[in-house]
Amino acid sequence: MKLFLYIGMTALVLTACSSRENVSNDESEIANAITSCDSGSSGIVNGTSVTAQDPDSKRAVLLIIHRGKIVTSCTGTPISDRVILTAGHCLKDVKKGDVDVVFNSDISCSAMANSIPSVDILIHKDYKGDNQAKFDLAMLKLESPIPSSYLPQSIYDGKAPLSNDQVLMIGYGVTSESIHDSMHLRKTTKSFKTETAIRDQNIGFDQRTGGGVCSGDSGGPVYVQVGGEYKIIAVNSTVMNKDESQACHGLSMAMYMPFFADWVQQSLDKLR
């Protein structure tokens, strides 16, 4: 299941995108969220809200994605002053200028005033648009530089020793399979040693007994600490469980970024 959720469906496409069908041209659902100012709920799944004062609030951004009358959301990460890293499925069939990147821990409280539109999109050439969690990566270029309060995040090379056992997940997704409460930034942690497995381009996380990602978290970063500095080890792609009603409480899959080091550099060069 991808983290991509269409509201009104039993969305078990956890391609961590949260999508709303039949949205009016004025994007009424997003407008309602902006005026609600409700930032107190907890999540990702079994996570905690990230306030504007938390340094982690600058480690992820919200993508508002337009496909005609359909508006969806994903999570992303700044990796240069004008480039955002996210999942390929988030930007599939999206036009270059149809993404707004929101720099705020909460979509409420006029957060759209802190948004920057995209001007270019680059999806991994081997991404097939299916649910196989392969090559599910993309970048988008912004019209202007990211705010000075945000810094480009570094990507883990897979070689340096980790500072601790903690894996940090951050995203704007929902807090459970049945609650549509996305667009608030939340975080949770996993154990690298006991809840993580790496195979080639994929890294998997066991979400059966603890927190993790869900719909709306697609494209969001997974961090580890190296020398005390947070670095991106993965980009969230999909969740899976035989019981679809518990899709976010099974296994989540992400793109293992050390595997994609060459692609990252080549893509940044193209988008400069």
Where do the domains of the chain lie, and which CATH numbers do they carry? 1-272 (2.40.10.10)
CB 86 within 8 A of CB 75: yes
Query: Residue range 234-256: average pLDDT?
Result: 76
> How many CA atoms, within 13 angstroms, populate the side-chain half-sphere of residue 247?
26
Provide the pLDDT for residue 77: 98
Residues 185-206: pLDDT tens digits? 989 999 999 999 999 999 999 8
Provide the pLDDT for residue 27: 44
Give the span between the Cα atoms of 18 and 11, in whole angstroms.
9
Provide the pLDDT for residue 251: 80
Q: What is the largest CA-CA distance in the chain?
A: 49
CA-nearest of 76, 55, 63 to 112 is 63
Strand partners, 99: 65
**Tokens of residue 162, six digits:** 């980790």
Residues 123-148: pLDDT tens digits? 999 999 876 789 999 999 999 999 99
CB 220 within 8 A of CB 172: yes
Provide the pLDDT for residue 114: 84
Sign of the dihedral through C-alpha 257, 135, 196, 16: positive
**pTM to 2 decimals?**
0.82
Query: Residue range 84-101: average pLDDT?
Result: 96
